[in-house]
Amino acid sequence: MAKTLLRRGLRKGYRTLRQWLQEPAPAPAPGQDRFAYGLINDLVVQIASKLGPSQRPHYTWGMAHAAYLAQHLGIERITAIELGVAGGNGLVALDRAADELERAFGVGIDVAGFDSGAGLPKPLDYRDLPNLWSPGDFPMDEAALRRRLRRGRLILGLVEDTIPAFLAERPAPIGFISFDLDLYSSTMAAMPLLAADAALLLPRVQCYFDDILGFTFADFNGERLAIAEFNDAHEQRKISPIYGARFYVPPRYSNAIWVEKLYLAHILDHPQYNDYDGLVRRPNMDLHEAGQ
């Protein structure tokens, strides 16, 4: 008798477990769609599928957030920048992703790449990590690269010369910058981009710092030192990591190394810094309407 009851209990438990496993996942709790990350992440994945391996998701993610912010602030055109172009694959990826994001958000995107054109300058001291970098590293085939670009503008020369001239042209507000100049001295020379007139910047500028993980990168050399010194020198301009970024990028990229290199430059004195930016959905607003 006891064995019969045990068998019946086991069969009933098995049926309950099988039924539970076959049930659809419960609907998300109210409020879980209150953020724009889903909309932006879906777009990043779609662009990755369309453009293939040459696409750089960290460029697309940062530029998508910049275009989304500009849309909500009523800014019709922005600038996306790569510092350190080398062979040009990154600038081409930025160029192609800009095509897609311009169509998605209705915000014009200018693309500019800065490079010496002759490889890295000579490292000056330990802050430039001469144990890693040598003069002439990462050369460029300028003619070949220019043939690959559509909208991207290639600006050649040392950044201490080209960036002031670029800012004097009054470009569209800068919304995304990839820092890949390798040297501390060159990175510091590029920081005037983030110290520029607030009219030349979005209130928050998406930044990607390529050389901050592994190797011999530290708080007292390279890009990390440049970030710290910039923050120390500017009360109303601050560069900060995007904390917990791996939870807010598309899940397929949550363990990608580039996620740890995402930063945000806060332009605290920007007149629109406190304006609603659409990242958190307001009551009764359709999430997709927030992206239109």
Rounded distance, CA 50 to CA 63, Å? 17
Range with the lowest mean pLDDT among 19-23, 113-117, 237-241?
Answer: 19-23
Rounded distance, CA 270 to CA 198, Å? 5
Candidates 244, 238, 245; CA nearest to 273 is 238
pTM for this model (two decimals): 0.87
Q: What is the pLDDT of residues 3-16, one digit of tens each?
A: 444 455 545 544 54
DSSP label at 214? S
Please state the rounded mean pLDDT for residues 47-61.
95
Confidence of residue 29 (pLDDT cuts 50, 70, 90): very low
Please give the pLDDT value at position 11.
52
Answer whether 140's CB lies under 8 Å from 148's CB.
no
**Domains of the chain, earliest start first:** 33-291 (3.40.50.150)
Contacts of 40 (CB under 8 A, 6+ apart): 61, 64, 65, 68, 291
Task: Identify which has the larger pLDDT, 287 or 159.
Answer: 159
Rounded distance, CA 42 to CA 62, Å? 14
Please state the rounded mean pLDDT for residues 259-284.
94
One-letter amino acid of 34:
R
Query: Cβ–Cβ contacts within 10 Å for residue 163, how many?
Result: 21
- Here the tokens at position 14 are 């098995």
Candidates 226, 225, 220; CA nearest to 195 is 226
Please give the pLDDT value at position 5.
43
One-letter amino acid of 22:
Q
Rounded distance, CA 254 to CA 148, Å? 30
Please give the pLDDT value at position 214.
98
Would you say residue 283 has pLDDT above 90? Answer: no
Exposed / middle / buried, residue 167 (Cβ in 10 Å: 0-12, 13-18, 19+): middle
CA distances from 243 to 21, 46, 106, 204, 277 (A): 35, 25, 29, 15, 19
Candidates 284, 86, 101, 256; CA nearest to 176 is 101
Separation of CA 8 from chain center: 58
Question: Residue 29: left if φ>0, alpha if ψ -120 to 50, beta else—which one?
Answer: beta
Q: Enumerate the β-bridge partners of residue 263.
A: 207, 241
Would you say residue 23 has pLDDT above 70? Answer: no
Please give the pLDDT value at position 282.
80
